[in-house]
A and B are shown apart, each in its own frame.
Chain A
Amino acid sequence: MFPLQRSLTARYLLQKWERSLLVAISIALGIATLVSTRLLNQCVEAAAYDTTIPADVADLYVQNGEAGVDWKVLDDLRAASIPGIRRVEPFVQLRVALPELDQRPAVIFGIDVEGRADQGTPDDGKLQLNLTPVDNPVAFLVWPVQVGRPVAISRRLYDERRARGKGDTDPIAIRYTNVTETFHLAYIIDVPKDSPVAPFAENLLIMDVAQAATFSRRPGVGGDRVTRIGLYVEPGADIGAVHERAQAVVGSRAQVRTPEAIRKSTSAVVGAVKLVLNLCSLGALIVGLFLVYNALAVTVAERRHDIGVMRSLGATRTQIAHLFTAEAMFLGALGSLPGIPLGLWLSGLAINQFGDELKSSFLNSESFRPHLSLETGLIAVLAGMATALLAALVPALQAASDEPADAVRRAPSTTGGTLRRIYRVACVLLVAGGFATVLLRRQLPSPTGSLIGGSLVLIGMFLAMPIFVGLFSRLFLPLCRWSMGVEARLAADNLVRSPARTGLVIGALAAGVSLMFLTAGVGKSNEVPIRNWLEEVIQADAFVFRDNPAAANSSMAPMEPGVRDQFLAVPGVEHVVGLKFFRAEWRGTFILLVAIDGPDYRQGVRARVPNPNPTLDLMERLPEGPVTIVSDNFAAKWGVQEGDIVTIQGPRGPVNLTVIGIGRDYSWNQGTIFVERTIFAELFGENVVDGIHVFFRKDADFNTTYERVRQVADREQLVVQNRESVQIYLVSVIDRLFRVAYLQQFIVAVVAALGVVTSLLISVLQRRRELGLLRAVGATQPQVLKSVLAEAMFMGLIGTILGFAQGLFMEWYFLHIVMREETGFVFDLLVPWKEALGIGLICVLTATAAGLIPAFHAVRLNIPEAIAYE
């Protein structure tokens, strides 16, 4: 099978194993980024879906964001008896902790257990729950008074309790906010792998929905609120009509949506994150693609004579083209295989960086275990082969189109003209198309226009790199030739002579440098103002959370409002500021609503910061009524001004807030609005708090007061931290974010470095005769070594300079176009001089080090053979 490939391809690849290995490694790294990105996207999407619609089994959902749905809506829907609706079921989801299992996070699903008795199995058995009853008579004891509070727990939790000596009749302690209540074990839940609740199986508790709603302590008009109401439609009913009628009953109190609409909306929210991740991985794949192209192009050039011989023996053009494409696809498949496990490891590494934050922000932290499916593996292998095939197309066509006589005679090829023209046109089209997309970005969904347009421009510029290198070399290298020794002059001449070979490699180096420059620049431009802002707003002496700082702004770990009063009673404490974080749906995305004790906060900060942000004084006005202070990025992104009305969906319908001021705030990229906490509690029926800032009196002894606060926190099973540790934590979040970005760019840089090695190995081969002649006329081995290393160093230097130029442009573009459009944030462009110096040094040293292997090849040349080589 494949006799030609076995004889020609396999033998050639084995003989040139170093080059084949380098090509395969380039592909492996590109595939690793693709796999890790895909896995991360899957995790983010799964976690987002699991948080938005866990246990998705209904045909329609009545939801109201974080505000929840009033019980009266449920009553009204049932009373309306809408034709086509078979069942109306409330559902509650709660994130709780289990004190008996070291405060382990768990999830409560409240389902309509009573409805089960009337109407058959709830959810028509779609949840696929297997409930095994336990012998615990207390669980259902209702006479003479309601004693039993039955709950079902997952098999895993049950086994762990048993392992700790807990029996079936022992009460189960469940903590929500900082209050622990006891329940009674009634069932053990076994969840099959294909059940909709399978993602939660490890930490699942199920109870009756009314009991869960009461436990969540979110009073509504008609009773406690539920998370959502599921509508089950009769088979064959017109779901559109049902949808309309249900919405008419619900009115402005909530929204009726299909699961698809909810998923689409969730996708839109995580879409920007996915797009950025995808673009980063595409970048690595493209860099790998061009390096593979480079290697294959030179392979074709090297084997041109062999190709001529084969053509003279009767090989057709198609056979020649197939030979090279098959070779490339084999290398692509070979490179993909190690890329897959590497990608899995990279995704795990990225997730570990944000373990606490992810667990705190999403309902199901188990979603963040990357799972490699057969589909992902196949896609990875196909992507590797496709990348290599794409890279091989042009060289293969060039090889096939050469006239056999020219190839045999080693005469210059006459077929390159058309391809060169196509290449130039492609560069121009990409750059022009990219700019056009950027200019028309407002007509495209955000941030597609700005990100894709920018990417097209960058790809076009990257493709055009050989042209830039040729120009650059011609302009600056004569200076090098004049001022440097013969070794450097020969190296410079070689660069000028073959910009096509070196251009793409230098382009890859420049791409790596520019990405790192972009990250450093954006990081510095963000970090400086954000640090300054944090120093201004994080002014309290102590900070109290239920779990950890990561959970503080996620609303997944609330505390009872009563603890605030306990801290206020501590001697030495002057102000206690409660904060509630609420994610409000807004124009297809989510904004952050911060409910805060405005006047207390203002007084606390004013006493510590001599010239605070002028908007701080407006915090005194927050208790006036339904008013809000909005962040500057909210105002810029959504076109909101002072005096405008911002309408947010509340539990009883829309809530109108009048904008009284605009202030600097970097809490959320879609914008933040501030409301007085007590007014929020009144309008939204939510009086729990997610964080507490404690300000001490100036004359109080800090350590003594802090210790007292800590004792209160311990009593309530809360966590307390001081200002310094909170600021350090917040800055570390930013650092970790950039660390993940640097990791991807490091891969691009490694791929580029591999390209330098490949390119120089080829250079040594092409310069064999010249280097042999050098040695024949008296050059020493160190001199030959220096010449090759000089070429490597020049490649690094040119790559660095071009990379800085590109990186600066990219930083400006990202800050002033992409970020401004996507978030409304406006950051001044700060040039990361220190980091740039480090990046440049690393690039030049890496390129020079990459030249070592080819340099040693060069010094080991056999002089007579090298001179005789044709």
Chain B
Amino acid sequence: MMELADVTKIYQQGSRTVHAVRGVSLTVTAGEFVSIMGPSGSGKSTLLHLLGALDTPTSGTVYFQGANVQKMSDRQRSLLRRTRVGFVFQFFNLIPTLRADENVALPLLLGGSRRSTALTQGRAALDRVGIGHRADHFPEEMSGGEMQRVAIARALVGGPEAILCDEPTGNLDSKTSGEILDLLRGLPEPGKRSLVVVTHDRRAADYGDRIIHIQDGLVASEEVVRNGTREMISAR
């Protein structure tokens, strides 16, 4: 359902040119749980941003459900992110001035929903991730794990076809990380919803059906689960 075809991303950092992604091709099918692993600066977050139409490639093509994302207008890409893709970030990225239910309802409010309807759905999503009792609290009043659950609820509220997570446990202790990963594991729906998780943590990566190893902007190798065991597929 999501595909990167020979995608490259280059950006300027002051006077330095950074080749974040160098000619990567990969596919994520509907219902798949894919982990993308690699050290810091390997380009894994950039890959995630490209998959979710948060960024545009320097060259190559990105497809979402067969549609060429580059040919979409900015408005169409915004709509894509609002209704068909959900993001979960390492540092939660909640709006500090909004309560938990308002943070979750934000994509619906952006879509023009009535406030009351949006908040009702928001609270429902919070219940689903086990944090409904904190609906009226602001981010500064919550723990890291609670904030990440709110972020997951926000990613789910619009019923997206793909959820993209950038180091979702990077800022959490091991116990909370486990809880969040267990929560994430329940999200993919076979044939419907995919989950892509970017991580440098092996334990988190093992939750996925497929692990893509990224090194210096290139796919170094892939691991897939076959008959209950992981098999390494060599790099392209």
Q: A314-B83, A315-B78 are in contact. Are A405 and B49 (CB under 8 A)?
A: yes
Q: Which of B88-110 contact A (CB under 8 A)?
A: 89, 91, 93-98, 102, 106-107, 109-110
Smallest CB separation, A555 vs chain B (Å): 66
Task: Point out the residues of chain A lying under 8 angstroms from B96, CB to CB.
Answer: 306
Q: A314-B79, A404-B55 are in contact. Are A3 and B93 (CB under 8 A)?
A: no
A414 at the interface (CB under 8 A from B): yes
A7-B102 in contact (CB<8A): yes
A313-B154 in contact (CB<8A): yes
B13 at the interface (CB under 8 A from A): yes
A405-B55 in contact (CB<8A): yes
B149 at the interface (CB under 8 A from A): no
Smallest CB separation, B71 vs chain A (Å): 17
B14, B75, B93, most chain A CB atoms within 10 A: B93
Smallest CB separation, A7 vs chain B (Å): 5
A12–B94 Cα distance when bound, in Å, is 14
A4 at the interface (CB under 8 A from B): yes
Task: Point out the residues of chain B lying under 8 angstroms from A7, CB to CB.
Answer: 98, 102, 106, 109, 115
Q: Which of A11, A314, A409, A411 meets B107, CB within 8 Å?
A: A314
Task: Point out the residues of chain B lying under 8 angstroms from A414, CB to CB.
Answer: 12
Task: Point out the residues of chain B lying under 8 angstroms from A315, CB to CB.
Answer: 78, 82, 110
Q: A7-B109, A314-B83 are in contact. Are A403 and B55 (CB under 8 A)?
A: yes
Nearest-neighbor residue (CB-CB) of B46 within chain A: A405
A411–B98 Cα distance when bound, in Å, is 24
Number of interface residues of B (CB under 8 A): 38
Q: Which of A422-477 contact B (CB under 8 A)?
A: none
Smallest CB separation, B5 vs chain A (Å): 19
Smallest CB separation, B96 vs chain A (Å): 8
Q: Which of A4, A305, A408, A411 meets B110, CB within 8 Å?
A: A4
A317-B74 in contact (CB<8A): yes
B44 at the interface (CB under 8 A from A): no
A7–B55 Cα distance when bound, in Å, is 27
B118 at the interface (CB under 8 A from A): yes
Task: Point out the residues of chain A lying under 8 angstroms from B213, CB to CB.
Answer: none
A8-B95 in contact (CB<8A): yes
Q: Which of A150-187 contact B (CB under 8 A)?
A: none
Q: Which of A375-413 contact B (CB under 8 A)?
A: 403-405, 408-409, 411-412
Q: A8-B97, A405-B55 are in contact. Are A316 and B78 (CB under 8 A)?
A: yes
A408-B54 in contact (CB<8A): yes
Task: Point out the residues of chain A lying under 8 angstroms from B97, CB to CB.
Answer: 8, 11-12, 15
B123 at the interface (CB under 8 A from A): no
A314-B95 in contact (CB<8A): no
Q: Which of B13, B74, B87 meets A313, CB within 8 Å?
A: B87
A412–B15 Cα distance when bound, in Å, is 12
A534 at the interface (CB under 8 A from B): no
A314-B55 in contact (CB<8A): no
Smallest CB separation, B12 vs chain A (Å): 7
A412–B45 Cα distance when bound, in Å, is 17
A310 at the interface (CB under 8 A from B): yes
B111 at the interface (CB under 8 A from A): yes
Q: A309-B95, A317-B74, A408-B89 are in contact. Are A4 and B111 (CB under 8 A)?
A: no
A314-B78 in contact (CB<8A): yes
Q: Which of A306, A409, A411 meets B95, CB within 8 Å?
A: A306
Q: Can you list, as one digit per residue, whether each of B37-71 has a CB less than 8 Å from chain A (1) or not (0)?
A: 00000000110010010110000000000000000
Q: A8-B97, A306-B95, A870-B91 are in contact. Are A404 and B106 (CB under 8 A)?
A: no
B114 at the interface (CB under 8 A from A): yes
A6 at the interface (CB under 8 A from B): yes
A312-B98 in contact (CB<8A): no
B81 at the interface (CB under 8 A from A): yes
In order of increasing CB-CB distance, the 10 nearest A-B pairs are A314-B82, A405-B55, A3-B115, A11-B97, A314-B81, A316-B78, A405-B49, A309-B93, A405-B54, A313-B107
Extra contacts, 12 of them, besides A7-B115, A314-B79, A318-B75 (Cβ < 8 A), are: A7-B106, A8-B97, A15-B97, A311-B54, A312-B81, A313-B106, A315-B82, A317-B74, A404-B55, A405-B49, A408-B89, A411-B13
Task: List A residues at the B interface (Cβ < 8 Å).
Answer: 3-4, 6-8, 11-12, 15, 305-306, 309-319, 403-405, 408-409, 411-412, 414, 870
**17 contacting pairs across A/B (C-beta < 8 A):** A7-B98, A7-B109, A11-B97, A11-B98, A306-B96, A310-B110, A311-B54, A311-B78, A312-B52, A313-B106, A314-B79, A314-B110, A316-B75, A316-B78, A319-B110, A404-B81, A411-B11
Task: List B residues at the A interface (Cβ < 8 Å).
Answer: 11-14, 45-46, 49, 52, 54-55, 74-75, 78-83, 87, 89, 91, 93-98, 102, 106-107, 109-111, 113-115, 118, 154
